[in-house]
Structure 1
Amino acid sequence: MRNCYDFGLDTHPRFCILSKPVYESLIFCSLIPNEDGLMPHDEIMTSREVADYLKLNARTVTQLAASGRLPAMKLGGRWRFKRSFLEKWLEQGLVEGFAHEVGLIETHEASADCTVASLIPDNGIVLPLEPGDAQDVVSQLVNVGVEHQFVTNAPILVDAIMEREETFSTALPSGVALPHPRFRMARVLRQPFIAVGVSPAGIEYGAPDGSLTHIFFLMCLRTDALHLRALARISHMARSDAFIERLKTCDESDTIRQCIIDEEQQIFGN
């Protein structure tokens, strides 16, 4: 069995075929302690764990894996999944149109009352972002949480987000990026929040098509359920070129917030 997975290695996304030896070697490498003697921040997941993570039926997970639509490998007769591959599949799929395969994320009852707009605190929109590199952008957005005393250790959070970006960039071809730590980082977050940054001129952030990124949604959330709901909603909204253009041309934070509220209301009804 071979599985397809888009690594975005070129300026135009392409599918890579993972043979059994290649996938096994990737999994093996993920289980080797680093130079500090610690396990790397990646996780090998079972079908049941993936089902719980995506809020899908376990049978649906195995069907997606068997059909090659979910990055996976059979080891010892059982499906195994690398979390970093799974996250990239999820983010890309929600934007590129196979969100129906993870459609239950949006309606998961554990976070049904939380909207993207409600997670953006007062003064949670940075307009405009100061020019700089990816870490400069992340630091500016993390400062939103610091100013509200939501974040107890900013350097650790910034490092975790940048580690996630180095694995796979969260920049999308639409000009939107969704920076977030790979794990929920509850130990450094007193309260979940989303910070929004807008760069009218654009910033190089590793988009797969080489384009500049203008809109940043920093997601610092404490649970997988809330993270997946926010990810699904933002990715869905990011499909609208008109919505992105409105955000890029807004000259006030309150206007950006209202655009997000209006778009959520139009798409999701709340």
Structure 2
Amino acid sequence: MSTETTTQSEYINIGQLSSYLGWSPRFIEGLVRGEHLPGLEVQGQCVFRRDDVVDWLEQKIQTLDTARVTELEAKMESSLLADGTFRTTRTDRLTSRLPLKGIALDVPAANKTEVLHAIATTAEATGLLFDREHLLTSLVDRESLCSTAMPGGVALCHPRRPIPSIIERQFLCLVRTSAPVDFGAEDQEGTSLFFLLATPDDRSHLHGLARLARILQGGTLDALKAAATSEDILAALAEAESRIQIKD
């Protein structure tokens, strides 16, 4: 953890971060020490920039214990239900936000640039996106920081920050390429499944990120790679989401 002199109001302390994420202060302290969760020492106190924490979670969500991911998801869902952003856990399933027009299969993309263009085009086809070029620019900016590709041939793509001004509501897209693409995954394997999370705020983004990380466990990735139609894709995701909600 580094030391910095800055404006205190720019940061939240460990208690506030604990309340926001649904994790204990002790667990967060362990992440700072062992997992390099970005914190700063300001006037002798450990503090965090919320944007830095979100960036870190985007990169590390699949490395966290499933129980911790579930806690994060539950905390975000509780907050979103409390203020009316979500209505019920049933009507606000993640798969209910994936329209069939937001699924594009066997897209002939050869590189990262072509993949990002395909994602933006698919998002536009949903009718829920108002500015394709804005989204594309933000996707490129996000990927320039570090790849959103994860082990297993999947990437959880998203804009650099939530984009409430250019979307009608939160939605999800999925692009499957005809062949794996070098997208910068740490395991150095190609990526063929590309999700897009388009959300209006950080809480919805973190909820979707955590929910997707859980849905994609087990045999879900294999089912998505083998699916013949968009309806098959949606059915596989809905079944996986139903399964984890029953466990909860």
Same fold (TM over 0.5): yes
Partner of 2:189: 211
1:166–1:128 distance in 2 versus 1, CA, 3 Å: same
Paired residue secondary structure (2:204) = helix
Mapped to 1, the partners of 2:73 and 2:116 lie a distance apart of 26
Letter of the aligned partner of 1:162 in structure 2?
V
1:65–1:251 distance in 2 versus 1, CA, 3 Å: closer
Partner of 1:46: 12
Q: Please say if residues 101 and 126 of structure 2, whose CA atoms lie closer than 8 Å, have aligned partners that are also in contact.
A: no
Determine which of 91, 95, 98 is the counterpart of 2:58. 91
Partner of 1:199: 177
Point out where structure 1 has 5 or more consecutive residues left out of the alignment: 3-19, 32-43
Paired residue secondary structure (1:266) = helix
1:200–1:84 distance in 2 versus 1, CA, 3 Å: farther
Mapped to 1, the partners of 2:39 and 2:66 lie a distance apart of 18
Letter of the aligned partner of 1:199 in structure 2?
T
Shift of 1:77: 1.6
Partner of 1:165: 143
Determine which of 122, 125, 129 is the counterpart of 1:147. 125
Q: Please say if residues 54 and 102 of structure 1, whose CA atoms lie closer than 8 Å, have aligned partners that are also in contact.
A: no
Partner of 1:15: none
Partner of 1:104: 71
Quick one: percent identity of the two aligned structures? Answer: 24
Partner of 1:7: none
- Whether 1:245 aligns to 2:212 is no
Q: Please say if residues 156 and 197 of structure 2, whose CA atoms lie closer than 8 Å, have aligned partners that are also in contact.
A: yes
Point out where structure 2 has 5 or more consecutive residues left out of the alignment: 81-85
Shift of 1:95: 1.2
Mapped to 1, the partners of 2:125 and 2:100 lie a distance apart of 10
Paired residue secondary structure (1:126) = strand
Mapped to 2, the partners of 1:168 and 1:144 lie a distance apart of 22
**Runs of 4+ in structure 1 displaced over 6 angstroms?**
none
- Between Structure 1 and Structure 2, which shows a larger proportion of helix residues? 2
Mapped to 1, the partners of 2:21 and 2:160 lie a distance apart of 15
Q: TM-score, normalised by structure 2?
A: 0.81
1:210–1:65 distance in 2 versus 1, CA, 3 Å: closer
**Number of residues paired by the alignment?**
232
